Structure 1
Amino acid sequence: METNPPMRTVWRGAVTFGMVVLPVRLVSATEAHRGRFREIHHRDGGRIRHKRVCEMEGTAQEIPYGDVGRAVELPDGRLVPITDEDLERLPLPTKHTAEVLGFVPGTDIDPISYGRAYYAAPDGPAADRPYVLLTEALARTGYVGICKIALRQRERLGVLRPRRGVLVLQTLLWADEVREPGDLGPSVPVTDREMQLAEQLLSALTGIEMRQLEDEYGHALEQLVAAKTVGSEVPELPAPQPAVDLLDALEQSVEAARRSRE
């Protein structure tokens, strides 16, 4: 599998399932749209700068990034330095091995648990056959593999799934990291007619081309910046208001959706 040059390897090790060992390397599968805001001082508009300083030496001298380390803070406030060498000696099997603990139907995974996605590329010629075998077996069965992996200084659950002939390893939240909704959802009755129309509306709006959707925030921000530089205002779009008559709104929505598909 070929990857683009900017794709940097973030983890190298082996995926194991049963007695099969599959050497892989992980690269980020997604990239976020970068924000363009800077911090400024409200009073005079000056740029705010953040500096690395040592609280024991005062705030005058900025610490070079190469001199910055990491530590774990104890309950009494003491700091225990932790080096890269210490982390390499960490007695954790998942540092270099992502053992598949079992397989479950992909539909069993609640999407709320999904975290970052990484492409898992075969690492060396010996990995090619088991890589293709696992990828195709998952695609045919609809199963995904559940594993544990130490990634970015944390141990995480992960799910292995196929995507367009490539294995994706996507991190999962631990069960205790997902909050229960409690009583956030309302409990009110709806009529059979309202439910019927809602189902018709969903059916009429089925199908969407995701590749055609674009992030419009950047364009709107450009319009705002351009307007502010010349002292003009950008017209504010009105916020949608809840329908007074839900049944009437549903009927109009179904009719409009049908016309748009004709």
Structure 2
Amino acid sequence: MRAIWSGAITFGLVNVPVKAYGATEDHDISFHQVHDKDGGRIHYERRCEVCGEKVDYKHIDKAYEEDGDTVVLTQSDFEALPESDNNEIEVVQFVPSDQIDPIMLEKSYYLEPEGKTPKSYLLLRETLKKTDRTAVVRFALRQKTRLGVLRVSGKLLILQGLIWADELRSVDFPGTKSRAKVADKQLELSAQLVESYASDFTPKEFEDDYQIELRKLVDAKLAEGDKLDTKATFGETDEGDDDADVVDLMEALKASLEQRKKGKTSA
């Protein structure tokens, strides 16, 4: 695993040298596009509309248009911005952890302590644990100024990006203002249903079923060629499913609870 960033966390006069590593990776199967007629690969070209030439990526600048006027920004322009070479993760606040709305969280990064004596790293980690606080930070990555949080996961400090406040959409759905009333009995049954699902979160118990089935399909095609019955690959038949009964909310809750009870009895 290769570090994508190297710098330091700073809060007050404390300096914590760290390296950042991407904490996640995509497990989706990658595809390329082909012509349905003959299976030929589809390629995309970067071609200039003025001279018609194909353009290498290194010769591409970025342009912004507003009210019919266009300005071009070069790589040198971006590098001249004050935050472009900032190698600090600056702590700006320590806030109660429950004040961070998960909807604002973005990509995560593992932070590795640098240096022979990572005492400052350990100090920050233990302080966050003891105070049950999350550090709100500002940092620059890939020529963008970002907002983020520092939190503790086991023995590691983790940096998570945050979206800016003006990037969060404000919505007002009519259904949330409904005057419909929830009966006490409905609420009681719903709470029982929630309790029947209650457990500790164990991420490893969950798998990406779509990618598993997709892998099975790809493997089958590799083994047998294109003469493959896709439904047979998944053990499906052509028998149609019975239409689901339409039931009211109370009946649905009762049926769900009964199903959960039977499942626990047979387990």
TM-score where L is the length of structure 1: 0.83
Contact in 2 for aligned 1:74/1:80 (Cα 8 Å): no
Partner in structure 2 of residue 108 of structure 1? 99
- AA in 2 matched with 1:110: D
Q: 92-101 or 200-209, which moves further after superposition?
A: 92-101
| Pairing partner for 2:187 from 175, 195, 217 | 195
Partner in structure 2 of residue 172 of structure 1? 162
| In the alignment, structure 1 residue 125 sits paired with structure 2 residue 116 | yes
Q: 250-259 or 18-27, which moves further after superposition?
A: 250-259
Flag the 1:135–1:152 CA change in 2: closer, same or farther, 3 A: same
Post-superposition offset of 1:185: 4.1
Partner in structure 1 of residue 261 of structure 2? 258
Partner in structure 2 of residue 229 of structure 1? 226
Post-superposition offset of 1:94: 7.7
Partner in structure 2 of residue 71 of structure 1? 62
Task: Tell me, in whole angstroms, the C-alpha distance in 1 between the residues paired with 2:243 and 2:4.
Answer: 43
Three-state SS of the structure 2 residue aligned to 1:46 is coil
Task: Tell me, in whole angstroms, the C-alpha distance in 1 between the residues paired with 2:85 and 2:198.
Answer: 42
Partner in structure 2 of residue 136 of structure 1? 126
Post-superposition offset of 1:214: 1.1
- AA in 2 matched with 1:230: K
- AA in 1 matched with 2:74: P
Q: Compute the RMSD of aligned alpha carbons.
A: 2.8
Partner in structure 2 of residue 23 of structure 1? 17
| Pairing partner for 2:140 from 138, 150, 162 | 150
Contact in 2 for aligned 1:105/1:144 (Cα 8 Å): yes
Task: Tell me, in whole angstroms, the C-alpha distance in 2 between the residues paired with 1:112 and 1:242.
Answer: 35
Post-superposition offset of 1:107: 0.9
Contact in 2 for aligned 1:150/1:156 (Cα 8 Å): yes
Flag the 1:144–1:14 CA change in 2: closer, same or farther, 3 A: same
Three-state SS of the structure 2 residue aligned to 1:259 is helix
Contact in 2 for aligned 1:72/1:82 (Cα 8 Å): no
Contact in 1 for aligned 2:83/2:143 (Cα 8 Å): no
Flag the 1:242–1:35 CA change in 2: closer, same or farther, 3 A: farther
Partner in structure 2 of residue 50 of structure 1? 44
Partner in structure 2 of residue 12 of structure 1? 6
Flag the 1:41–1:121 CA change in 2: closer, same or farther, 3 A: same
Contact in 2 for aligned 1:27/1:118 (Cα 8 Å): yes
Partner in structure 2 of residue 3 of structure 1? none
Post-superposition offset of 1:171: 0.3
Post-superposition offset of 1:71: 3.1
TM-score where L is the length of structure 2: 0.82
Task: Tell me, in whole angstroms, the C-alpha distance in 2 between the residues paired with 1:240 and 1:122.
Answer: 58
Contact in 1 for aligned 2:84/2:144 (Cα 8 Å): no
Task: Give CA deviations for 1:178-220 in whole Å, capped at 9, x if unaligned.
Answer: 1123116442322111111111111110114221211111222
Contact in 2 for aligned 1:94/1:149 (Cα 8 Å): no
Task: Give CA deviations for 1:149-176 in whole Å, capped at 9, x if unaligned.
Answer: 1112211101000001100000000001
* Aligned-residue identity in percent: 36
Three-state SS of the structure 1 residue aligned to 2:257 is helix
- AA in 1 matched with 2:163: L
